[in-house]
Structure 1
Amino acid sequence: MQNLASIQKENCRTGITNLQDLSPFIPDGCTLLLCTEGKAVISTNTRKRTFCKGDLLLLFSDILFTPLKVSATFSAEYIYLSQVLMEEIFYKMTSAEFWACVYNYPVCHLLAEQYSIVQGLFMQMQWALKNCNDTCQKTILQNCAYNLFLGIDTEYKSALPSLMQNIRKDRAWMLFGKFMSFLIKHGCERRDVKFYADRLCITTDYLYKVCNKVEQRTPKEIIDTFIITEIKRYLNNTNLSIADLAVCFHFEDSSYLCRFFRRMTGYSISGYRNRT
């Protein structure tokens, strides 16, 4: 069983994961997960969701993915495609509605027929990774991924027409997506709302309105949740000292980091790290 965070050292990868390490994960490119057994409670950009047998999960580089609770029988096939492989697909997928729907509904609850189609695409990509040279492999992987996204876009537009109409009219969706992209890129260094508002060329007041409309939370709450998730990821996967973590996350000192962590989680840092 594979830890998702470890798969991104290659251009593409396929395998099986049980998500048992519960580590937060931000894809570099695209990761597709097809649940074949069991059930998991997950969060994407801090929104809680259910991921069950027969579901497809789409993760891109503006989505922070965190497994929260996983059943003992959970298993999912994954396909990882790097940013380099995805660039042409990103260029061709011009549907703003598709990207907004993927952000809001990254878990696709598939019908039996849809599951068979997706499983077939997974099998084609797995075959290409095992049997094709680099040029042929790239073409097959990109075509399969693009066809999958086109199919999902078609289903979204059919199933969610009212959402599509709102997205077409609503600039807030676009601004919020850009805000999350900036947060994932700069969140470890910058926690001030003004920094992100300036990046978006809007006022802090308008960013508060955007976040409240899309997420019913303030940008500060979203930033703090992202930071605490990242700190937990470091605590789960590294042996960095509290002082090193304070430097890494640009806190004034260790005591400030400790107070922030306790306020957000109810744990001390050492208590969280030593939990069973």
Structure 2
Amino acid sequence: MKMGHKESLGVEVGQTDWKELIGKIRFTTEVAMFKCTSGQAVIVIDSQKHIFRANINFMLKEFTLFQVLEVSDDFCVTYCQFPMKVSNEIYARISSNIYMITDQSVPDIYTEESLVVADSLFGSICHLCQNENHAYHKEMLIHLLLAYTYELYEQTRSFAEKRHASSSITNTDSNILNRFYGLIRKYHTIHRDVKFYASTLNISERYLYKIVKGNIKITPKQMVDDYVIALIKKTLLTTSLSFQQIADRFNFYDQSVMGQFFKRNAGMTLSDFRNKHA
């Protein structure tokens, strides 16, 4: 069960017991911050198992495979979830290094003591989201989210290099999804053809489609394209690289081909996106 409040920026704050998520695999499309207020849960983030316990919070980035394995009877989590339009404003203000480090955020690398500042900021964010009539609501929210991101970076950077992706050898839906996502992360600048991924996984394209569509409600091609689009957006916002340099980085034939790909998937041109968030 879930109760929440959604305000004009599309930010949602609420509480949930995650019971309805148990066993389901999700491919996240928005950034979310979580604080466990009671009990504990066993979760999987990009094939890695973690314990989420009371008084710990962490950030879950977009385009992540997420699964809840089990929760205690008294488990409760407070969440703050914000859409890409808010994320883009944050990405435009931070370096790519900070983003990549906070991408490693998982609950069991933190202690209550290390999260004192982050927890205070999280509480302020939740309170502000429920006061949309504040004269500087948007400005304060963006700055608080930035401050939370910086603090989480500080608490995560010493652990980031210790993180290693695990591989799987069985053919369950969950393991195939995790392996598929791991391949996307590794080969997205070289291969955007689903045939390559199915072949590498030693399964048919049809079977891969069935697993991805059946579990996370999008096609394998959408999953690949969404991941590439997200990284192009971050590159546009966090670097001063030219469009041709970005096209070279992502192995597009030229910037016009990348531009067509971006407009088809993001609904706007590269220039419009960068100018909008400059």
Is the TM-score greater than 0.5? yes
| SS of corresponding position for 1:231 | helix
Q: Is the Cα–Cα contact under 8 Å of residues 16 and 76 in structure 1 kept in the other structure?
A: yes
The equivalent of 2:15 in structure 1 is 16
Higher relative contact order (CA 8 A, sep 6+): 2
Structure 1 residues 115 and 249: alpha-carbon distance in aligned structure 2, compared to 1, 3 A threshold: closer
1:54 is displaced (CA, Å) by 2.3
Q: Which amino acid aligns with 2:201?
A: K
Could you tell me which amino acid in structure 1 is paired with residue 189 of structure 2? Answer: L
Please, what TM-score do these two structures have when normalized by structure 2?
A: 0.56
Determine whether 1:231 maps to 2:214.
yes
Alignment pair present for 1:201 and 2:190 = yes
Q: Which residue is 2:121 aligned to?
A: 121
* Offset of residue 63 of structure 1: 0.7
Moved segments of 4+, more than 4 Å: 6-10, 221-227
SS of the equivalent of 2:28 reads coil
Indicate the residue corresponding to 2:201 in structure 1.
220
**Alpha-carbon distance in 1 for matches of 2:209, 2:45:** 11
State whether residues 8 and 82 of structure 1, in contact with CA within 8 Å, keep that contact through their aligned partners in structure 2.
Answer: no
Per the TM alignment, residue 203 of structure 1 is displaced from its structure 2 partner at its CA by: 10
Report deviation, 1:94: 1.4
Say if 1:84 and 1:154 are closer, same or farther in 2 by CA, change over 3 A. same
Unaligned runs of 5+ in 1: 168-172, 174-186, 209-217, 235-247, 251-276
Q: CA deviation at 1:249?
A: 5.4
User: What does residue 94 of structure 1 align with?
Assistant: 95
Distance 1:134 1:11, change over 3 A: farther
* Distance in 2 between residues matched to 1:15 and 1:99, nearest whole Å: 25
- Aligned-partner residue type, residue 51 of structure 1: F
Any idea what SS the aligned residue of 1:25 has? strand
Aligned equivalent of 2:44:
43
Distance in 2 between the 1:92 and 1:227 partners?
A: 39
* 8 A Cα contact 1:24 1:230, kept in partner: no
Aligned AA for 1:61?
A: E
Cross-structure match for 1:85: 86
Identity of aligned residues (%): 17
Is the alpha carbon distance of 1:225 and 1:42 closer, same or farther for their aligned partners in structure 2, counting shifts above 3 Å?
farther
Measure how far apart 1:220 and its partner are.
2.3
CA distance in 2, matches of 1:221, 1:54: 43
Q: Secondary structure at the match of 2:117?
A: helix
**Count of residues paired in the alignment:** 198
In the superposition, the TM-score normalised over structure 1's length comes to 0.57
Aligned-CA RMSD value? 4.3
Amino acid in structure 2 at the alignment position of 1:231: G
Separation in 2 of the partners of 1:32 and 1:128? 15
TM-fit CA distance, 1:139? 1.5
